[in-house]
Structure 1
Amino acid sequence: MKLSLLSWLLPALVGVSHASEDSVSTVVKRGITYSVFNHAATNASLEIVKNSGICETTPGVNQYSGYLSVGEDMNMFFWFFEARHDPQTAPLTAWFNGGPGCSSMIGLFQEHGPCRFVDNEATPSLNPYSWNTHSNMLYIDQPIGTGFSYGTDAVDSTVTAAPYVWKLLQAFYAKFPEYESRDFNLWTESYGGHYGPEFAHYIQTQNAAIAAKTLTGEPINLVSLGINNGWFDSAIQEQAYIIYSLTNPYQPLINASDAAEYFEGYQNACLPSIQNCTDVATDEACRDATDVCGAVIEDSIMDSGNWDVYDIREPSDDPYPPQTYVTYLRNETVMKAIGAREEYQECPDAPADKFSSTGDNSRTFLPTLSAVVQTGINVLLWAGDADWICNWVGGYGVANAVEFPEQDAFRNATLQSYTVNGTERGTFKAAGNFTFVRVFEAGHEVAYYQPETALQIFDQMIGQNPIFST
């Protein structure tokens, strides 16, 4: 961990007391007036705009947006929406898009936020399938440099990103103490196969330190982790690229002869490089694994035809879902209303380049995922089956490899039909606190393609219920 990161984390991590107390003030930055909450324990501040009138227009539902400032030129954007029903008792859910370095505004505007763009309209309308129907929702742009977040930070890997997220949540609880005792859910997608396990594990580690009184902080009542179309483990998922490309239900992307060549490349080049990354764990070894597997498997398959890696039913030259929301978020009136100070960047290169420098992509988070499942919280892996980049075959392989007390029961179970109001929308299986769902006719962003199904799954999981058909 770099010194610049430790310099602001150390007081919170070691539990050093502060003579100063939390305080509230106002500040004007770039013509925007913020209510400022200064959190003494973490030396952070929340700069907030309340009820902007953007996106969530349901009467009586409050929203807050703005920045967590953790130091000089370190500004992390967040957007919080109260639940539409019973916000005083509803759980709290934090959402993270992947990348690494992709904005959580993707999830907010394209997937499951309070508003959505219908038929490429220029302005959004209310989303009846929003996840804030029964949960208070917190969308976070991380790491810094992503979305509306801006400035400098030391994040160059999944592991170094986790403390920033914990710190934001600590400041959020201090500002909004009514959520401290609520169930907390962590949901994510794509590179969230790295983020989700590590962020959950870090929260649980911090909780243990707080309980042992070796750390000053607020325990986070983590009860569920949900990851759709996640990237967890290269050894499993690089091979799944070949299998899915040959056997997916929509269109074969390669033929049997091609597949045989790819399997040879996987066994002789890709897999050994991944194993070397895992064994020696140096940045160089893990960068090499990413490069080798890209060269012998990913790049060639992606060049095999005109199809979109996020939805193989669509052409590669016609991005889908539509990018209407990006233009909307770059409107100066919208930016000022929500307290955004920098032009929106959906998936900028700079944060991703930092992760690439450490070979983070090829580092497995399967052991971390197993450790989180073993703690007993509800964990869901789910995947839209038209996605290639983090396809359901790889996700299913990861699910079957998770080590937990009910692993044998899970692996031996068969996938059962999953219905929504009597219509089959996918298949699923579960054992103990662990569930896997394959969602039919959905690309990478499951909630965009199957919003009703996604909301039913989400509500069941955060309600501490086993997955069940309706």
Structure 2
Amino acid sequence: MEDAMDIQREQIERMRDFLGPTTDAHSNPSGQEKRQRGGKGSTITFSNPAAKKFLVDGTKIPDVKFDAGPSWSGLMPISGAKNETRKLFFWFWPTNNPANTKDLVFWTNGGPGCSSLEGFLQENGPISWSWGQAEPTPNPWSWTNLSHVLWVEQPVGTGFSQGAPSIANDDELAAQLMGFFGQFLEVFSELKGNNLYLTGESYAGFYVPYIANWFYEHPGLALNLKGIWIADPSLSYDVVQQEIPALRFAQANKNLFPFNSSFWAQLQQISDSCGYTDYLDKFVTYPPAGQLPLPVATNGTFNVIPQCRIHSPIQRTIGVLNPAFDVYRISDTWPNLWSVLGFPRSTQEFIYFNRCVQTALHAPHIEWQSCADNSVYINHTTGGMGRDQSIPSTLSVLPNVIEKSVRTVIVHGLADFILVAEGTRIAIQNMTWGGAQGFQTPIEPESFTVKNMGVYGSQHIERGLTYVEFYFSGHMTPQFVPWAAFNTMSYLLGHQDSPSS
């Protein structure tokens, strides 16, 4: 026991190193510490006087006890029309590396209707206030180490963004975002001509490919789109990414799904009768034998018949056994960590973006929500709320995006149960791009590595598409394994020849 306790103390010290530089508000940091914290002049300045009203003083961000450096945030309209009421909220941060000023990374969260400020504060921004943290700390894996980064709350109806939703599909979403970029680049014109990389997670599996496809097919944006990066993305129908792989996932993680034998038998009966049990072994081959069929569970449609639902019964039952169960990361157990954003936890003391930070960020004084209560899509026929009418990206626009991009990167956490990695493999193997269907050779296990850590998952690269699976990670990969996600972003931007390091 003494040895184990000593090793645990060593681990605590190692974790402190992972949190980055200390943030004692009363200390007088050295020049090197200031550089690590971002407390220095910006690597870019803007000549348009209109940019000044968006400037955020990095020494005056509430509750942040270190100089985070200058940034720019506020509302930007989606068009130049005088009566335009639809505005998207953005937060732009310059890179801290002068060698990377010709790149611009755009980030969006998913939902649909979830705020990109979640990604900023708890995933890949220069300020980290993740689950369980008492206060913000500098993020040593901030993507601003690699590029300028622009976090945008979109579409209209998300976060601080203003106006009434008016889109029914993601082509319309992309057109509005292109309008936003046009207005944004008039104010921040020094960014014109930069390389652009579109990134996001979850429902961004719809957003990002549709945005990229729109930008490629509608030239005129004063940026050079080079590629996309999407994490744990929604790429196909729920039957593909939830139902088919659900039982195999639970069986592979039995210590976290400790069901009794009778419930396992019930699940097996559903799996057998609905065509899930042998689906991956039979159809997900390298190369594929042809288009992958829908299982009998859909009865010839894209919707699962009620008696074939297996993902929801698993999730409900494990939630009884583990009160802290988190579909976004199945390894979470009691006690329940709090989140300063209230997502996905409900034990927060306050919601950060509902405090005085609204004034500092030039945000409207409203009740901010991490995810919108109402739909961000409308029904054009009725004028009321609707659902996204877009076809999943692997079956529509993603092949064109892969073929037109320098690099396309898809990553997936292996502890994610809201969208299962094996379902993403199905979606990829059913997609045709670059003259062939799916990956032609198998994804090799233990092929993704992280420097000083060793094997961290698997990777595969074919015909412009890179796919990486991460150990230890749930749905929000830049939050759960930021060092691994950072590697893949560095690869996307061309800073390294392989996702591995």
Q: Shorter-chain-normalised TM-score: which range?
A: 0.7 to 0.9
Does residue 236 in structure 1 map to residue 244 in structure 2? no
2:288 alignment counterpart: none
Please report how far the alpha carbon of residue 265 of structure 1 lies from its aligned counterpart in structure 2 after TM superposition.
4.1
Match for 2:224 among 210, 221, 224? 221
Separation of aligned partners in 2, 1:457 and 1:325: 34
Separation of aligned partners in 2, 1:248 and 1:74: 45
Structure 2 matches for 1:132-143, cutoff 5 A?
A: 132-143=144-155
Q: 1:371 to 1:273 in 2, by over 3 A?
A: same
Q: After the TM superposition, which of the residue ranges 394-403 and 222-231 deviates more from structure 2?
A: 394-403
1:198 alignment counterpart: 210
Q: Percent identity?
A: 24
Structure 2 matches for 1:375-394, cutoff 5 A?
A: 375-394=404-423
Does residue 268 in structure 1 map to residue 296 in structure 2? yes
1:17 alignment counterpart: none
Please report how far the alpha carbon of residue 463 of structure 1 lies from its aligned counterpart in structure 2 after TM superposition.
1.8
2:11 alignment counterpart: none
Deviation digits for residues 287-332 of structure 1 (CA, Å, limit 9, x no counterpart): xx38x5798244323212123211112259947766369622111x
Deviation digits for residues 247-297 of structure 1 (CA, Å, limit 9, x no counterpart): 3476347736414414534633436221xxxxxxxxxxxxxx38x579824
Deviation digits for residues 104-143 of structure 1 (CA, Å, limit 9, x no counterpart): 0111011010111267345412111101112100001011
- Counterpart residue identity of residue 165, structure 2: D
8 Å contact from structure 1 (residues 117, 325) kept in 2: no
Q: 1:321 to 1:445 in 2, by over 3 A?
A: farther
2:328 alignment counterpart: 310
Does residue 438 in structure 1 map to residue 469 in structure 2? yes
Q: 1:442 to 1:381 in 2, by over 3 A?
A: same
1:301 alignment counterpart: 314
1:251 alignment counterpart: 256
8 Å contact from structure 1 (residues 193, 230) kept in 2: yes
Match for 2:434 among 376, 396, 405? 405
Q: After the TM superposition, which of the residue ranges 460-469 and 424-433 deviates more from structure 2?
A: 460-469
Separation of aligned partners in 1, 2:390 and 2:161: 26
2:424 alignment counterpart: 395
Between Structure 1 and Structure 2, the one with more helix by share is 1
- Counterpart residue identity of residue 370, structure 1: P
Q: After the TM superposition, which of the residue ranges 459-468 and 382-391 deviates more from structure 2?
A: 459-468
Q: After the TM superposition, which of the residue ranges 250-259 and 458-467 deviates more from structure 2?
A: 250-259
Separation of aligned partners in 2, 1:362 and 1:161: 10
- Counterpart residue identity of residue 76, structure 1: L
Structure 2 matches for 1:42-57, cutoff 5 A?
A: 48-53=53-58, 54=61
Please report how far the alpha carbon of residue 360 of structure 1 lies from its aligned counterpart in structure 2 after TM superposition.
2.9
Q: 1:391 to 1:52 in 2, by over 3 A?
A: farther
Structure 2 matches for 1:305-454, cutoff 5 A?
A: 305-306=318-319, 307-315=325-333, 318=336, 323=341, 327-331=351-355, 333-341=356-364, 342-351=366-375, 354=378, 358-360=386-388, 363-367=391-395, 368-405=397-434, 407=436, 410-415=439-444, 416-423=446-453, 424-454=455-485
Separation of aligned partners in 2, 1:314 and 1:96: 25
Structure 1 unmatched ranges of 5 or more = 1-34, 39-44, 208-216, 275-288
Normalised by the length of structure 2, the TM-score is 0.72
Structure 2 unmatched ranges of 5 or more = 1-45, 276-294, 320-324, 342-347
Deviation digits for residues 364-409 of structure 1 (CA, Å, limit 9, x no counterpart): 2213111211224311111111011112111222223332237468
Q: 1:393 to 1:293 in 2, by over 3 A?
A: farther
- Counterpart residue identity of residue 418, structure 1: F
Q: CA RMSD in A?
A: 3.3
Q: 1:383 to 1:314 in 2, by over 3 A?
A: same
2:126 alignment counterpart: 114
Please report how far the alpha carbon of residue 180 of structure 1 lies from its aligned counterpart in structure 2 after TM superposition.
1.9
Deviation digits for residues 131-165 of structure 1 (CA, Å, limit 9, x no counterpart): 11121000010112211112213023323211111
Deviation digits for residues 408-464 of structure 1 (CA, Å, limit 9, x no counterpart): 683313325211114221111111311100000011111111111111111111126
1:63 alignment counterpart: 71
Please report how far the alpha carbon of residue 337 of structure 1 lies from its aligned counterpart in structure 2 after TM superposition.
0.6
Separation of aligned partners in 2, 1:51 and 1:265: 55
Separation of aligned partners in 1, 2:144 and 2:415: 26
Please report how far the alpha carbon of residue 191 of structure 1 lies from its aligned counterpart in structure 2 after TM superposition.
0.4
Normalised by the length of structure 1, the TM-score is 0.77
Q: 1:396 to 1:117 in 2, by over 3 A?
A: same
Separation of aligned partners in 2, 1:167 and 1:178: 18
